[in-house]
């Protein structure tokens, strides 16, 4: 009895079954992803004489749910949730008193300054329009993810510290708790370029620099994002 035709038939059935299986999986393929991002944080529209010093960092993590919108499933809407921690080292001192908050440049005569940092922690809602040239079997691919991020400030603080003491302001009531901005993530493979441009101001209209001009600063964040399937 010759087994070759039967073996050939069995092999064809197995290959066809695998192809059918990939087709079934392909109809369910999506890029659900955890993300971790590290950014360098900048302040835009600073008051005159205000500058950043030191290294201002941001750490961001979360999960994005993928909703493909075309047959090839390489274009999708991504909606997620995440947490963000951000610090900004600069020379604008924030002081709270009985009448409100004072924003001013640190006196140039201060020579023993150790720290002057503004920090906030947010819960975030990222929304992305996602394009990639990936398939169900390709795990390294090009991606371009423009989007929008909505954030809510859970906690904010500013800290001025010298060798002789410190001043800390927590939960500044003139901070805009609702923050939002445009985002862009793009690259190849695991590590990708990421940026965020704030579309609203950090502080509300009551915040005045030297009690005169509005504090119109906005956030810009530039860094890398790491995606984990």
212, 49 in Cβ contact below 8 A?
no
Q: Mean per-residue pLDDT for 168-193?
A: 94
What backbone torsions phi and psi does residue 199 show, to the nearest 5 degrees? -100, -5
Co-location of 20 and 108 in the same domain: no
Closest CA to 215 of 123, 112, 101, 121: 101
Confidence of residue 26 (pLDDT cuts 50, 70, 90): low
Residue 182 and residue 172 share a domain: yes
* pLDDT in the model for residue 6: 45
- Residues 6 or more apart whose CB falls under 8 angstroms from that of 154 comprise 121, 122, 123
Same domain, 106 and 36: yes
Tell me what the pLDDT averaged over the chain comes to.
Answer: 87
Full domain range(s) for residue 173: 31-228
Write the burial class of residue 147 (CB in 10 Å: 0-12 exposed, 13-18 middle, 19+ buried): buried
- 78 and 11, same domain (yes or no): no
**Considering its fold, how many domains does the chain have in total?**
2
Cα 37 to Cα 63, 197, 200, distances in angstroms: 12, 15, 22
Do 20 and 46 reside in the same domain of the chain?
no
- CATH number of domain containing 97: 2.40.160
DSSP strands (E only) in the chain: 33-44, 57-68, 75-89, 92-97, 100-105, 113-132, 142-162, 165-170, 178-188, 191-198, 208-209, 213-214, 218-228
Q: Are residues 21 and 124 in the same domain?
A: no
- Do 107 and 168 sit in the same domain of this protein? yes
Is there a single domain that holds both residue 101 and residue 8? no
What band does 207 get if pLDDT is binned at 50, 70 and 90?
A: very high
Is 162 in a helix, a strand, or coil? strand
Quick one: 36 and 25 in the same domain? no
- Do 72 and 17 fall into the same domain? no
Please state, in angstroms and as integers, the Cα–Cα distance from residue 60 to each residue in 36, 104, 125, 131, 173, following that order. 6, 30, 12, 22, 24
| 26-35, 42-51, 109-118: least confident range | 26-35
């Amino acid at each position: 009895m010759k087994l070759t035709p039967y073996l050939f038939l069995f092999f064809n059935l197995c290959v066809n079954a695998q192809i059918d299986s990939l087709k079934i999986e392909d109809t369910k393929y999506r890029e659900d992803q955890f993300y971790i991002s590290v950014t360098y944080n900048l302040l835009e529209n600073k008051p005159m004489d205000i500058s950043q010093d030191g290294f201002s960092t941001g750490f961001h993590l979360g999960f994005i749910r993928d909703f493909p919108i075309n047959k090839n499933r390489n274009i999708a809407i991504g909606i997620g949730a995440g947490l963000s921690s951000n610090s900004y080292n600069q020379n604008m001192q924030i002081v709270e008193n009985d009448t409100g908050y004072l924003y001013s440049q640190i006196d140039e005569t201060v020579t023993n300054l150790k720290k002057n940092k503004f920090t906030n922690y947010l819960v975030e809602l990222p929304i992305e329009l996602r394009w990639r040239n990936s398939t169900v079997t390709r795990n390294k691919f090009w991606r371009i993810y423009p989007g929008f991020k909505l954030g809510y400030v859970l906690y904010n603080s500013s800290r001025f510290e010298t060798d002789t003491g410190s001043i800390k302001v927590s939960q500044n009531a003139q901070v805009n708790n609702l923050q939002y901005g445009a985002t862009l993530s793009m690259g190849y493979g695991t590590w990708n370029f990421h940026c965020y441009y704030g579309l609203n101001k950090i502080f509300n209209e009551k915040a005045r620099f030297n009690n005169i001009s509005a504090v119109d600063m906005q956030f810009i964040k530039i860094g890398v994002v790491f995606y984990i399937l």
